[in-house]
Chain A
Amino acid sequence: KKKPQVGSVLSDIMDNPFYQSLTNEDIQVRTDAVKGLADFAEQIGPQRTLDVLLPTLSDICIDDEDEVLAPLAVELGKFLPLVGGETHIQPVLYLLEGLAKSEETSVCQKAVASLSAIGAQLSEGVFESHFVSLVIRLAESEWFPPKVSACPLFADALKRSSDAKKEQLLPLYVQLCQDETPMVRRAAASNLKNIFPLLHPDVILKYFLDVYHLLAKDPQDSVRFIIVEVAASLASTFRAHNLGEKSLELVKPVVLACAEDRSWRVRYMVASNFVLIANGIGAEATQSLVYVFVNLLKDSEAEVRTAASGKISGVSALLDTQKVISSILPCVAGLVNDDSQQVRSALASDVLLLAPIFGNEGTSQHLLNIFLRLLRDDVPDVRLNIISKLDQVTKVIGLDKLSEHLIPAIIELAEDRQWRIRLSVIRYIPPLAKQLNVDFFTEKLGDLCFGWLEDSVSSIRKASVENLKDLTAVFGEAFAVNNVLPKIVELSKKTNYLHRMTVLLFISQVSPALSEAALNNHILPLALTLASDPVANIRFGAASALETLFPRLSAETKQKVVRPVLQTLNADKDIDVRLYAAQALKAL
């Protein structure tokens, strides 16, 4: 983003370099310039913004490329104060209206967001005369892009409209819901969830009842699957007005129809929105719909089963435990063996969240076996998902029952051929460590943690150092000094220079967590030794590592012990070593 420079004298804008770059031939120059528009407008003041800047922007809007127009739309959203307030906002709104008609969705979306932002700040009179009329014009356009843009703006318009004005606007919106192009119907349908909460149920019934049912039967699949979210929104709006029964009457048939729709995508939407729907219709009504959810868990299409599997805990939280045990758990037992690894993976991420619902005994009795099965799955992703959520279970039943199976599973994943899997395992070690005592941990997983320091993949080595830092935070300095540092010292004597690099990484990352005593007794000597390493990279790495230690070292140490070493490095034959050493000496 270019920071515009404007003189303090009322100079001619035309000669201003920033202003000129707005119409530069090179599109990259224009794009960069446009991003600084708001700053520029602020500097030149409202008068010149209105008289000079906006007309230029108008020309740009007519013809320029989308890459320029999208950031332009963003900047225009900031222009209300920059044109001196709402009395002068009309030209800005006019430009944004033009941009909201673009075929390019990125431009439209930014224009709509800016219009919304400005609209929120307008006073009632101006809002009605300028903003609402703009929305109406977009909605009545003959082309489809403006109609699509109008849909999200209706919520803004309705929010601040009197009942009388609503009566004028709502029929227009209903028309958009029945537009002949699917794009408009999709936009209209998906914004219903923003509009329903603004209306009284009677008003919703008056205007939207028919169109709601029409959309649920739309020949376009992409419209039908939006209706699920709409149903959920409808349900919660009605419940908020204590019309739970009516809400169920409206929502249930649509949900049932969608759950059995021939299109798997529509059924998918029911599965992935099930918790939302359940929250909308309430716990009691949800009980009666459990069989729908169970059917989705058994759907023929794997994508649907995956979506449903991810919602098991969410749905179960709304039911009584007996119902979960009798209706849902039998399904889960089947899903553990599902053919699709996606399904099992989603299941693994979610099923552990059932533990808090079942409590200690319930978990042991009903869930433990499921966890253990998934922990032994063929696919690493599934096993990882179990491990990542284990704290949910150990909170409830403690670690003992699991550790016997858990530790071997972790070790197996930690040695997986794929480094990204090894990386994921490392990340779970510190949270796991919090639940174990230090001796148990060191005995079972210590070797693993130190082994990672020498992994062939550098991301693993980096992560392992971070891991040791976190473990130090969990177990305390004694652990670091007694268990970790000896390994680090060993590492610093290895012949492969990469291992010695890891030591330097350790020094800069972990030292902040150690006491000054540990620093002086263990870390400093290490760094000083590495300063005379045969490999130049190590030497200058050591110089920077020493620099990071300065805040924690005594003045005496720094002058008597560190300085001489740095001075030697300053005369090193390698130019980079001299550079870093000089930097460190300067910091001294």
Chain B
Amino acid sequence: LFLTKNTPRAWIMSLGPDEFLARANGSHESTQQWEFSQMFGEDDETSQDESTDNWISSLSFDSTGAYLAVGYNCGQVVVLYQEDEHTYQLCCEFKSHNSEFDCLTSTEIEEKINAIEWYPFSGKNPQLMTCNDKTIKLFRVAMPNSDHDSGFPNARPRRVFQGGHAFNINSLAFNSDGETFISTDDLTINLWNVEIASEAFNIVNIKPDNMETLQEVITRSDFHPTSCNLFVYATSKGIMRMGDLRDSSLCDRPCKEFSDPAGAMGGFFEELVATISDCKFSPNGHFLLSRDYLSMKVWDLRKVNEPVQRIKFHEHLIPKLCDLYESDNIFDKFGCCWSGNSLQVMSGSYNGDFYICDAFQPGNITQLTLKANDSTWGQFDTSNKALHLDWHPKQDIISVGAKDCGYIYVRKDNVEDES
């Protein structure tokens, strides 16, 4: 029996890695059809407004998929609620962060929301965590009481975690224990207790004694979905290190290091394109997905020296690398994500393109394009980049954010997961 989109997720989750691979490799899904469902955000084609304030900077479904949170450059967060199979409605909107002036360094701390993560256990009032470069905040989305008429959902700040990072925070991840989370900046990772904002434990620190010898920064990190002790962080050198919280109180020595020397393209731009911009554990916990500039790689946690799959969907960019370097686009950080059944992966690109690929079937790639502006049709538009995206954990519904618009696509003959 091969795994298809209809296979109950609970059963898929119960498979061990080898059994999963055997069944995943054999399945041949027909070309899938994805349908544009809805768009949210300001789509004012006539607007002359050059500002990027309203551009999306992060996007995340909660663990049930009923809620979708979108963060913006201006510090706003919008929470959408799944009303029915195809439609998301506005649940609430709030200003998460304000810009601040750091007196010590005389720099402005932007209000841009770098990451949003939902608390993994759904309660009556779901909770989410947001961060800008320096400060992490926990919010509770308070649902109005059913017997109380005049209530609207609103987000209430619950806790502020600050002072933990000297460098810019790039990711947040909750532990499966429901009690702790990690926050990651360029050089350090801190472990916090959700209830305690006054202290954090530093578990990884790759800062060299002499900053002038700095070679490598951390780009993303993630916690394992079920093993409370495992986390992974990706670096600008194109490697991922897995840490085990059980080993010792300071996790500077990784227990595993994933790297793909054989996959190196070589050449002048090798180092720049090797940087990993996003990494995610698969929902079933057996695999890792990494996104570098030109490809996505799927890794088996048991195999560190090469990925199980290299998914190359950006080959058409290779001849343009020079231009992309000149325009600084080579530094764009594209996100990536898994489907809820751990069978597919997705990432975005330029021109409003994004790619949905079978994680274990080489070559099975579906390319879609966001509803593009007519004016840019035909040109290669590097400003229209689908950096942020996420996949509903239980259904084949995806959300993509590019510039100031968010898009929701639904797979045709989408089957709601009964499990």
Interface of B is mostly: loop
Complex interface: chain B residues within 8 A of A100 (CB): none
Q: A143-B124, A183-B121, A263-B246 are in contact. List 4 more A-B contacts (CB 8 A).
A: A181-B178, A222-B228, A261-B246, A264-B249
Q: How far is the CA of A267 from the CA of B273 in the complex (A)?
A: 43
Is B140 an interface residue when CB atoms closer than 8 A count as contact? yes
Evaluate contact between A264 and B248: CB separation under 8 angstroms. yes
Nearest Cβ on chain A to B298's Cβ, whole angstroms = 25
The 8 Å CB contact of A302, one of B121, B158, B176, B249, is B249
For the complex, is B247 an interface residue (Cβ under 8 Å from A)? Answer: yes
CA separation between A297 and B127, bound complex, in Å?
A: 41
* Other-chain contact of A222, B145, B151, B177 (Cβ < 8 Å): B177
Q: Is A262 an interface residue (CB 8 A)?
A: yes
Given A65-B156, A103-B127, A183-B121, A220:B247 Cβ within 8 A: no
Contacts of A125 in B (CB 8 A): none
Q: Does A62 contact B (CB under 8 A)?
A: yes
- Residues in B whose Cβ lies below 8 Å from that of A104: 140, 158
Against B, the Cβ 8 Å flags (1 = close, 0 = not) of A142-160 are 0111000000000000000
Known: A105-B195, A301-B248. A63 touches B151 (CB 8 A): yes
Contacts of B227 in A (CB 8 A): 219
Are B249 and A182 neighbours in the complex by a CB distance under 8 Å? Answer: no
| Complex contact A103–B247 (CB within 8 A) | no
Instruction: Check: B100 CB closer than 8 A to any chain A CB.
Output: no
Within 118-149 of B, Cβ neighbours of A (below 8 Å) are at 121, 123-125, 127, 140, 142, 145, 148
Collect the chain A residues with CB atoms within 8 Å of residue B121's CB.
144, 181, 183
A221 and B151 alpha carbons, distance in the complex (Å): 40
CB distance A182 to B229 under 8 Å? no
Chain A contacts of B124 at CB under 8 A?
A: 101, 103, 143
- State whether the Cβ of B82 lies closer than 8 Å to any Cβ in chain A: no
Contact B177 A264 (CB under 8 A): no
**A222 CA to B246 CA in the complex, in Å?**
11
Q: Which residue of B lies closest to A101 (CB)?
A: B124
Interface members, chain A 56-76 (any B CB < 8 Å): 62-63, 65-66
In the complex, what residues of B have CB within 8 A of residue A350's CB?
none
Pairwise interchain contact B123-A144, C-beta atoms closer than 8 A: yes
Sample 13 A-B pairs with CB under 8 A, ordered by A number.
Answer: A63-B142, A103-B124, A144-B121, A181-B178, A182-B178, A182-B228, A183-B121, A186-B179, A221-B177, A221-B228, A222-B228, A265-B246, A301-B248
Residues in chain A near residue B145, CB distance under 8 A: 62-63
- Say if the beta carbon of A576 comes within 8 Å of chain B: no
How far, in Å, is A1 (CB) from chain B's closest CB? Answer: 25
- Return chain A residues, CB-CB under 8 Å to B195: 105
A contact set with B: CB distance below 8 Å: 62-63, 65-66, 101, 103-105, 143-145, 181-183, 186, 219-222, 261-265, 300-303
Is B89 on the interface with A (CB-CB < 8 A)? no
Interchain residue pairs A-B with the least CB separation, the first 7? A263-B246, A183-B178, A222-B177, A262-B246, A182-B177, A143-B123, A62-B145
B226 within 8 A of A: yes
Residue in chain A with minimal CB distance to B226: A219
Choose one: A66, A222, A264, A265; the contact of B158 (CB below 8 Å).
A66
B123–chain A nearest beta-carbon distance, Å? 5
* Chain B 167-208 interface mask (CB, 8 Å, partner A; 1/0): 000000000111100000000000000010000000000000
Smallest CB gap from B179: residue in A: A222
Pick from B125, B158, B226, B248: contact of A300, CB under 8 Å: B248
**Interface membership of chain B positions 23-55, coded 1 if the CB is closer than 8 angstroms to chain A and 0 otherwise:** 000000000000000000000000000000000
Interface string of B361-382 (1 = CB under 8 A from A): 0000000000000000000000
State A301–B148 Cα separation when bound (angstroms): 54
A221 to B247, CA, bound (A): 12
Contacts of A183 in B (CB 8 A): 121, 178-179
In the complex, residue of chain A having the shortest beta-carbon distance to the beta carbon of B121: A181
**Pairwise interchain contact A263-B229, C-beta atoms closer than 8 A:** yes
A521 to B134, CA, bound (A): 64
Q: What is the distance, in angstroms, from A16's C-beta to the closest C-beta of chain B?
A: 25
Q: How far is the CB of B109 from chain A (nearest CB, A)?
A: 26
Q: Which residue in A62, A65, A219, A263 is a CB contact (below 8 Å) of B148?
A: A62
Instruction: Tell me which residues across on chain B come within 8 A of A101, comparing CB atoms.
Output: 124
Nearest residue in B to A61 (C-beta to C-beta)? B145
Chain B's nearest CB lies how many Å from the CB of A217? 14
Q: A61 to chain B: closest CB distance in Å?
A: 10
- How far in angstroms is the closest Cβ of chain B from A59? 9
Q: Per-residue 0/1 for B241-253: is the Cβ within 8 Å of any A Cβ (1 yes, 0 no)?
A: 0000111110000
Q: Which residues of B sit under 8 angstroms from A143, Cβ to Cβ?
A: 123-124
The CA-CA distance from A302 to B248 in the complex, in Å, is 8
Q: Chain A: which residue is nearest B144 at the CB level?
A: A63
Contacts of A182 in B (CB 8 A): 176-179, 228
Task: Write the chain A residue with the least CB distance to B151.
Answer: A63
Closest residue of B by beta carbon distance from A300: B248
Chain A residues with Cβ under 8 A from B151's Cβ?
Answer: 63
CB distance from B108 to the nearest CB of A (A): 30
Q: With both chains docked as a complex, state the minimum distance between the C-beta of A221 and any C-beta of chain B, in angstroms.
A: 5
Q: Please give, as numbers and ranges, the residues of chain B lying within 8 Å of A186 by CB-CB distance.
A: 179
Shortest Cβ distance from A407 into chain B, in angstroms?
38
- CA gap between A222 and B178 in the complex, in Å: 10
Minimum C-beta distance from A22 to chain B (A)? 18
Give A235 Cβ to nearest chain B Cβ, in Å. Answer: 26
A262–B230 Cα gap in the complex (Å)? 13
Given the complex, which residues of B lie within 8 Å of A62, measured CB to CB?
145, 148
Q: Quick one: which of B208-244 are within 8 Å of A by CB? A: 226-229
Q: Distance in Å from the Cβ of A106 to the closest Cβ of chain B?
A: 9
Distance of A66 Cα from B125 Cα, bound (Å): 13
